[in-house]
């Protein structure tokens, strides 16, 4: 399966694919993001971890254009995408999923994928009525590709169901597969393993590794450190809206600040102390 | 009797056209357009004004209005649709750029009231409260039709126009454009993170819907020969909403059912019944009450409408082997068995990483 066509993405081929510098965002008197600075290396899987309220989702919202930052810059490759409209950022190749799955419930499972390609000939009235063969050909290609992705993600038999009828785990898979259909160069996953059972965690982990093998850069918010350890090349730790540390998880386990701010909390929680 | 039946047919077809226009805006794109009747009115006025000769001349004696182009059918009708679409672009720029849902609905209903007041009070535009009248009956000269024959003839013409517009709308709704509209309706935030320019598609939807409204309005003035502000009080918009809600949001065939039940059976059928002695207008009031009750009952018991929106199925790619149930024989096991979290304990385990990896 082809996830993306790198030649069509504007992200260039050198240096980090995503770079944030001094991002800040305040809600009233609360500084949700307070100077976060980090790079996301190209064609790697990077985890964004940190305690609850560290600003992880806010950072992902800013990176994807869903929220405007108060200050700081975001670069996607060589393009400055700071506070750019989210549709434009998506068209530059950055896709995202949401903490709580947001399926397009009034569309079928297959249609959720078919709507994903960013530019489609059939979205123009002129083409619908005056270039029907082009529209039909492109639609056929999209159906073939969407079918292949649904088969890979185990959703094929549900393709004609309303997306709103899926279970929580299936919605997670649908959201990820929809993003894959859009051929991203950077894919932001907001807690893809949250609320799903161990078997599905295994599968989602496999899909993320598969994306990396196809050249997609992944930045994922994740609390499951076992998953982070197994599939992530790099980890960014956020605490109180700031970048606390970056590196491999094994290195970060030795970092006292990180242990105090987050890892200790997780270890304690998992051991019940 | 035939006049009565043809009139019912005419309004059935017209309201089907109007419902299709509002459906693409509301049912497909999620734009709660409470100003819809304003677009119908503009289509009506423009069709009327372009059908008539210059103001205060010939059959337009005593009337004040702009345009007066004396255009033949169907160019006058198209003019109504096009001007209504242009108005939709202006309205979209005012209302759609920053507003969503309830706030958008409030602004749109306000714009409808402003438009109503302008047309009602600014006489040089469309003859103020008297409205336009003496509109020529389209093609009746060509086919030498008397007034009774014209009613049947024009009902048939309207039926043909409704069929053409249905095919046009179906083509759009089954295209990737229609799918993008529905994605925006379901979750504009998700649609924009997929790279869709929400405003562009909303304008497109508004323009298509307004064209339908304009054509519907144009047909009304050509059928009745006159149109004035009392015909398009803002509340009329809710009749079209009732057609959609009763018929089925997002389903064009359902709109036929809605137009038949609401417009034909509940509005125009009672309008032809004789008044109850000593109670003039009572039937009309009852008719309005029944529409309200039907609307509430539908929203309460069957919000999806008589014929709900259907899931759109696509043919399997070439070479696909399907079993009797339509499922692929080569597809992996569906994820129902594994995709649902079975218990809170499992969630906790998964999160703590005790089992996975």
Distance of CA B19 to the CA centre of its chain: 3
pLDDT attached to residue B204? 97
**Looking at the domain assignment, is residue A10 inside a domain?**
no
ipTM comes to: 0.90
Report the residue of B187, B204, B334, B357 to disrupt the A interface, i.e. the one with the largest count of A CBs within 10 Å. Answer: B357
The listed range with the strongest mean pLDDT (A255-259, B25-29, B107-111) is: B25-29
**A201 and A80 in a common domain:** yes
Distance set, CA A92 to CA B116, B218, B237 (Å): 44, 44, 41
**Looking at the domain assignment, is residue A16 inside a domain?**
no
**A263 and A194 in a common domain:** yes
**A250 and A204 in a common domain:** yes
Tell me the pLDDT band of B335, cut-offs 50, 70 and 90.
very low
Answer whether B202 touches A (CB < 8 Å).
no
| CA–CA gap between residue B135 and residue B130 (Å, rounded) | 13
Sequential DSSP letters for A90-141: HHTTEEE--SS----TTSBHHHHHHT-SSS-GGGSHHHHHH-HHHHHHHHHH
How many angstroms separate the CA of residue B224 from the nearest CA in chain A?
33
pLDDT tens for A209-245 read: 999 999 999 999 999 999 999 999 999 999 999 999 9
Q: What range defines the domain where residue A62 resides?
A: 37-101+185-273
**A83 and A56 in a common domain:** yes
What are phi and psi for residue A5, nearest 5 degrees?
-115, 100
**Looking at the domain assignment, is residue A129 inside a domain?**
yes
**A199 and A87 in a common domain:** yes
**A141 and A86 in a common domain:** no
Domain boundary among A113, A132, A165: A165
**Looking at the domain assignment, is residue A12 inside a domain?**
no
Q: Identify which of A104, A119, A200 has the shortest CB distance to residue B183.
A: A104
Residue B333 has pLDDT above 70, yes or no: no
Q: Identify which of A123, A151, A161 has the shortest CB distance to residue B177.
A: A123
**A85 and A200 in a common domain:** yes
Tokens of B235: 């509340």
| CA–CA gap between residue B353 and residue B177 (Å, rounded) | 43
Q: What is the CATH number of the domain that holds A78?
A: 3.40.50.300
Answer whether B167 touches A (CB < 8 Å).
no
**A272 and A203 in a common domain:** yes
**Which of A90, A152, A142 shows the shortest CA–CA distance to A112?**
A142
**Looking at the domain assignment, is residue A6 inside a domain?**
no
**A271 and A141 in a common domain:** no
Answer whether A99 touches B (CB < 8 Å).
no
Q: How many domains, in total, are found in chain A? A: 2
Q: Identify which of B176, B327, B342 has the shortest CB distance to residue A139.
A: B176
Distance of CA B238 to the CA centre of its chain: 11
**Looking at the domain assignment, is residue A179 inside a domain?**
no
| CA–CA gap between residue A140 and residue A142 (Å, rounded) | 5
**A197 and A251 in a common domain:** yes
pLDDT tens for A18-55 read: 999 999 999 988 999 999 999 999 999 999 999 988 99
| For B204, nearest residue in chain A (alpha carbons) | A125
**A130 and A58 in a common domain:** no
Q: What is the mean pLDDT of chain A?
A: 90
Residue A233 gets which letter from DSSP?
Answer: S
Tokens of B273: 């019944």
Distance set, CA B123 to CA B60, B63, B127, B222, B288 (Å): 14, 9, 4, 21, 31
**A126 and A198 in a common domain:** no
């Amino acid at each position: 399966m082809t996830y993306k066509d790198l030649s069509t993405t504007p992200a260039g081929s050198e240096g980090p694919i995503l770079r944030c510098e001094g991002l800040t965002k305040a809600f009233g008197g609360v500084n949700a993001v307070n100077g976060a600075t980090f790079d996301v290396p190209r064609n790697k899987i990077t985890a964004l971890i940190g305690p609850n309220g560290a600003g992880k989702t806010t950072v992902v919202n800013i990176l994807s254009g869903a929220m405007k930052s108060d200050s700081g810059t975001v670069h996607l490759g060589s393009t400055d995408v700071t506070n750019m409209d989210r549709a434009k950022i998506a068209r530059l190749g950055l896709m995202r999923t949401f903490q709580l799955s947001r399926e397009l419930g009034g569309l079928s499972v297959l249609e959720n994928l078919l709507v994903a390609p960013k530019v489609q000939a059939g979205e123009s009235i002129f083409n619908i009525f005056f270039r029907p063969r082009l529209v039909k050909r492109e639609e056929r290609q999209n159906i073939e590709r969407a079918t292949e992705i649904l088969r890979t993600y185990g959703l094929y038999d549900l393709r004609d169901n309303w997306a709103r009828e899926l279970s929580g785990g299936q919605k997670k898979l649908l959201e990820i597969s929809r993003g894959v259909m859009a051929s991203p160069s950077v894919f932001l996953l907001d807690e893809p393993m949250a609320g799903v059972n161990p078997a599905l965690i295994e599968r989602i982990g496999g899909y993320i590794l598969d994306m990396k093998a196809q050249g997609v850069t992944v930045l994922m918010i994740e609390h499951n450190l076992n998953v982070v350890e197994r599939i992530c090349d790099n980890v960014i730790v956020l605490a109180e809206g700031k970048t606390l540390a970056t590196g491999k998880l094994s290195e970060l386990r030795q970092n006292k600040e990180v242990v105090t701010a987050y890892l200790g909390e997780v270890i304690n929680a998992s051991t019940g102390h | 009797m035939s006049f009565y039946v043809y009139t019912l047919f005419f309004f059935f077809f017209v309201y089907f056209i109007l419902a299709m226009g509002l459906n693409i805006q509301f049912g497909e794109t999620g734009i709660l357009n409470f100003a819809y009747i304003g677009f119908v009115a503009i289509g009506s006025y423009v069709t009327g004004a372009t059908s008539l000769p210059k103001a205060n001349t010939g059959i337009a004696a005593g009337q004040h209005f702009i345009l007066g182009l004396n255009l033949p059918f169907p160019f006058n009708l198209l003019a109504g649709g096009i001007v209504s679409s242009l108005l939709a672009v202006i309205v979209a720029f005012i209302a759609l750029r920053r507003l969503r849902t309830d706030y958008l609905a409030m602004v749109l209903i306000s714009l409808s009231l402003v438009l109503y007041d302008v047309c009602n009070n600014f006489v040089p535009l469309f003859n103020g409260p008297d409205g336009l009248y003496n509109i020529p009956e389209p093609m009746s000269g060509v086919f030498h039709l008397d007034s009774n024959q014209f009613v049947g003839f024009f009902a048939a013409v309207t039926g043909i126009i409704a069929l053409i517009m249905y095919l046009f709308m179906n083509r759009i709704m089954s295209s990737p454009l229609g799918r993008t509209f529905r994605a925006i309706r379901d979750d504009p935030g998700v649609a924009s993170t997929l790279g869709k320019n929400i405003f562009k598609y909303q304008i497109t939807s508004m323009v298509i819907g307004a064209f339908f409204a304009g054509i519907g309005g144009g047909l009304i003035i050509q059928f009745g020969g006159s149109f004035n502000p009392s015909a398009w009080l803002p509340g009329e918009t809710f009749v079209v909403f009732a057609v959609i809600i009763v018929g089925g949001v997002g389903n064009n065939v359902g709109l036929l059912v809605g137009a038949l039940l609401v417009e034909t059976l509940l509005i125009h059928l009672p309008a032809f019944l004789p008044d109850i002695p000593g109670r003039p207008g009572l039937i009309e009031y009852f008719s309005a009450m029944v529409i309200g009750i039907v609307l509430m009952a539908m929203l309460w018991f069957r919000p999806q409408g008589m014929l709900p929106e259907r899931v759109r199925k696509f043919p399997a790619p070439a070479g696909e082997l399907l079993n009797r149930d339509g499922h692929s024989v080569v597809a992996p096991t569906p994820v129902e068995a594994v995709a649902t979290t079975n218990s809170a304990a499992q969630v906790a385990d998964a999160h703590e990483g005790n089992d996975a990896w």
